[in-house]
Amino acid sequence: MTTELRHRKKPNNENTHSNRLSNDVAETKSHGDTNTDLKDSYWLTRIVFLRSLAFIYFVAFLVALDQNKQLLGRNGLLPTDKYIARIKNHYKTSNSFQLFSNVPTLLLFIDEQNIDTWLDMIGYCGLILSAIVLIGGAANVFIMTALWLLYHSIVNIGQRWYSFGWESQLLETGFLAIFFCPMFSLEQLSRDKPSKVVIWGYRWLIFRIMIGAGLIKIRGDKCWRDLTCMNYHYETQPVPNPISYYLHQSPKVLHQFETLSNHFIELVVPWFILLTRKFRITCGVLQILFQVVLIISGNLSFLNWLTILPSICCFDDQSLKSIFTERKITELETHMKSEEKNQKHISFYIRTVLDFSLFILVAFLSIPVIQNLLSSNQAMNTSFDSFRIVNTYGAFGSVTKTRSEVILQGTRNVTIIPDGQWLEYEFKCKPGSVNRRPCIISPYHYRLDWLMWFAAFMNYQQNPWLLHLTAKLLVNDKNMTSLISYNPFMDGDPPKFIRAAHYKYEYTKLSEHSPDWWKRQYIGEYFPPVQLKSLEQFLHAHGWEIPQVDTT
């Protein structure tokens, strides 16, 4: 009897041992399966992406809040109320909803007399909503839609100040983000699984940005083909920084390597997205490193920061988990297992319909974009629909070989007298005084400084806002003075005359051991000395008010 029991017990021990081994193997497989799942999931990707997008939105709305009243307010350089009146006249209708389909901006529905208040409200709302997403690392459809509409409302009345490719790029990025989020939840690991259609939408975006930029260069300026563009770029870019000064001094062979590397990143690397996972991750790494180099070497607004965002979607959860805590990874694995058991909830079907609709919409709107990319007459930074959902991009299709600057100068003398009596205005960031160190502001953006760079290779007749600025400086307008760094007449009477001089600027050489950053040469008169009275007819012709001296 005892022997029988012993014989029976032995197999039981073996079975127990076998069961333990099976459990261990099962756990190992389960762990392996989780890793495999992480290679095909984008929960962590979504957290990183939404925080990054919220940061860009926050900067964009901060710039708007700081500068829009001076640039677009009732007394701004290009007043919004006048612009909206021209829009209504152009479309021959006062129906705001009809107008909205052509010019999407909420400012069509407000009292234009209170435009300054509404510009501020849009700025504050944008800051608050983007801060919520930035802090929480999560968003829902309503928050992302609100941010998209608010920024649309600024861009579409922004005129010259908002006429650049990164505005459309932010709107396209923001539109896709609406479909990247759950409908209602503000949880990082919500029930709604991150959409793979959106992931591929962002990959399609970075592909277009890079290929568009590469093709416009190859088709454009000869210096991109003979590898000499970087001999000029650091010196002539819109708003250089101190690093630009030193990079400009590099040997020509290094500049050739930089240009060749640019072509590789923009024309070859984007195709990695279509290959295996390792190639996609490599593409994401190279694109992000490329944008970081561009951020270090110049002040291109938030353009390069924004271009990092779609590259984030080259990474899956497995590749990003090292930047998260073990607790977050465990929470994610638990969440994914529970979701596998309960996939067919109603939000799953809603998401499927939305994903399919988004895919059809992006595919349809991509047709003119692809045609443009294939065209020998490729357009740069163009939108083919009023909502800017799918756009074409490109940058520096041509590179200026010399730098010139418009320098505003004023005098209190009642008659025109020799040059020695003229005092110069200094802008926030654009080159002026030759001994002033170039600034570092990216991702922040001074819109007036940027437009002054364009004005330097045009004439003042093409930039009427510049004479409007001059008129306001002739009365020491405080709002306008807030946009510049130094007004030599702010502590007393305003100037009697202001003129604009045109100078050629070059970096000094390190070998010269000069204390100055720049050397400049006078080219000629940009516009002659003017006083407020001589500008009154010009201001009336544009519907702008005659500025008054502030006596308070």
pLDDT, residue 34, reads 43
User: 398 lies in a domain?
Assistant: no
523 and 465, same structural domain? yes
Parent domain of 424: 403-541
User: 100 lies in a domain?
Assistant: yes
User: 84 lies in a domain?
Assistant: yes
User: At residue 516, what are phi and psi to the nearest 5 degrees?
Assistant: -90, 150
325 and 440, same structural domain? no
Domain total of the chain? 3
In terms of DSSP H, where are the helices of 269-382? 277-297, 303-312, 317-320, 326-341, 346-374
Of 392, 417, 441, the domain-final residue: 392
Of 352, 369, 392, the domain-final residue: 392
417 and 381, same structural domain? no
pLDDT, residue 220, reads 92
Is the Cβ–Cβ distance between 469 and 480 less than 8 Å? yes
Residue length, the chain? 552
User: 21 lies in a domain?
Assistant: yes
Of 332, 360, 392, the domain-final residue: 392
Which among 351, 288, 343, 292 has a CA at the least distance from the CA of 320?
288
417 and 384, same structural domain? no
CA–CA dist 263, 285 (Å, integer): 16
283 and 428, same structural domain? no
Is the Cβ–Cβ distance between 272 and 282 less than 8 Å? yes
User: 551 lies in a domain?
Assistant: no
211 and 99, same structural domain? yes
325 and 216, same structural domain? yes
424 and 322, same structural domain? no
427: left (phi over 0), alpha (psi -120 to 50) or beta: beta
Which two three-digit tokens encode residue 224?
């991109």
Is the Cβ–Cβ distance between 516 and 540 less than 8 Å? no
User: 441 lies in a domain?
Assistant: yes
| H/E stretch holding 410 | strand 403-411
Q: Alpha carbon 348 to chain centroid distance?
A: 32
Q: pTM for the complete prediction?
A: 0.92
307 and 172, same structural domain? yes
User: 546 lies in a domain?
Assistant: no
pLDDT tens digits in sequence order for the chain, 552 residues long? 444 434 444 444 444 444 443 444 344 344 444 444 799 999 999 999 999 999 999 999 999 999 999 999 999 999 999 999 999 999 988 788 889 999 999 999 999 899 999 999 999 999 999 999 999 999 999 999 999 999 999 999 999 999 999 999 999 999 999 999 999 999 999 988 999 999 999 999 999 999 999 999 999 999 999 999 999 999 999 999 999 999 999 999 999 999 999 999 999 999 999 999 999 999 999 999 999 999 999 999 999 999 999 999 999 999 999 999 999 999 999 998 887 665 667 778 888 999 999 999 999 999 999 999 999 999 999 999 999 999 999 989 999 999 999 999 999 988 776 555 899 999 999 999 999 999 999 999 999 999 999 999 999 999 999 999 999 999 999 999 999 999 999 988 999 999 999 999 999 999 999 999 999 999 999 999 999 999 999 999 999 999 998 766
Which two three-digit tokens encode residue 369?
């974009």
pLDDT, residue 552, reads 61
